[in-house]
Structure 1
């Protein structure tokens, strides 16, 4: 009688889901490189590489234990083939190997199946968290990478443990049955701890992201508040400028030309100066000499019945002379 034993290695895993029947009633066909050993009494010989096919019972177990086993198996297969994260890629490949190996266990089947379920579930959840981070444009933190390294080591130990169980003879399997139960429980606890640690690190990463987003929002609010204050200050300054008549009068006067600029340069052939001469001197041959400085006065002098009206400081000659009687000659 021929039977499969140990040394299962992952070569190429391609989950074929072309069957129209549900996973619970169909066989999961996986292309795997399987090294088999034939037992003939005490002698064993290595057979040729063959295709390993999961039985219908194992497929049903996958469907009920892993909850949507098709999705999990497909996700792990894709991660093992093309994940850009090396440790995650190795973890997914090891999980698929363990999942296939536990199907050949003779003793403690249920416990080994649960162990395989835990392995696939942990790697699947971590892969989903990684994909979510990649979609958000973020990379795994250093702490999360360390968690993946530790998980990869745990999965390697589990794989060695399962293969060692398969290499035992029937009597040894029975003898180590209770010891295997304790070992399985230990590995399941280590998987739970690894998953909890990864979730904790993921929570820290999410918290750091939220803190960073909150800081950015605070900066945006401060900038908006600053812009609002600046706009308010400008509005108040504009309102004060409109309410104050002084600046407006200054602007209006600046637009109107001064009278001096409109005065012609020549008045009846006499040149005019821009600045008024504040000193006016009058000299007469007959009568008294009158001199007035920096004043505006009307002076009547006894100068041969001559009346002189003198206005100073206006750059104009307003003298009026009325001659009566004798003719006066001015030099």
Structure 2
């Protein structure tokens, strides 16, 4: 019996080829692509997954001399200290969540709004210049931007307080006043990242079918209605995915920015998990405690991503998984 007869007999009998055989055939067919992927997998394995054994430090009284395996096992001692004994952890956790929520509420919609506005601009040169100006701050480090922000917000020589003095308002110490520090963080973060985030949404906007707008014009839809009923729904999958990823980073409130801008006078509203880890781990050498904090952050982040992804899929949108 030749191969054709065998295959026809198999089909008649209702036999289904195992999925793993089809998958293996695809691997063999695209083997050179997997060879190209191999260095990337090696890089992730060595530098991302390999060091994960370091989470054992969260459960040990780590000593650099004895190493990870030689250090004494202490179990959940550090977690018990954080949640039940530490006088600072609940405060820094609260500060982290509040600052991150502010960034999500005010910072997440900012690049979407800017992208929609730039998409409506018909003058090509103005559009390119405006986009370049808005995303230039992204390429500067917070060390450089902190110097600019301090000059702008200086109570004695800053232009912001100078304008306030013109309307008889007393100088405001934006970076030293607990009432103004968090809004300053949010505004400066938007200023730095809004242009860079806009690039993703502008790329998504270019994929919208132009005939949808032409049909809407024929039906008499205004520009605002076109944006609301065509543009926004078309980029909603991109917005959803980025929102899920943003929510997963809710315990990352921005170490670089806060570390360069805060001072002891505003610790009560600005001290976050990352700055606490820096002081306890790098300065005081409490490696086990800070590893426990990092593990806690990662678990919460994964739970938020999976939970949000599940809810989004139930609502009929595309998720990240």
With the shorter chain as reference, the TM-score category is under 0.3
Select the structure with the greater relative contact order (CA < 8 A; seq sep ≥ 6).
2
Which structure has the greater CA radius of gyration? 1
The structure where helix makes up a greater share of residues is: 2
More strand per residue: 1
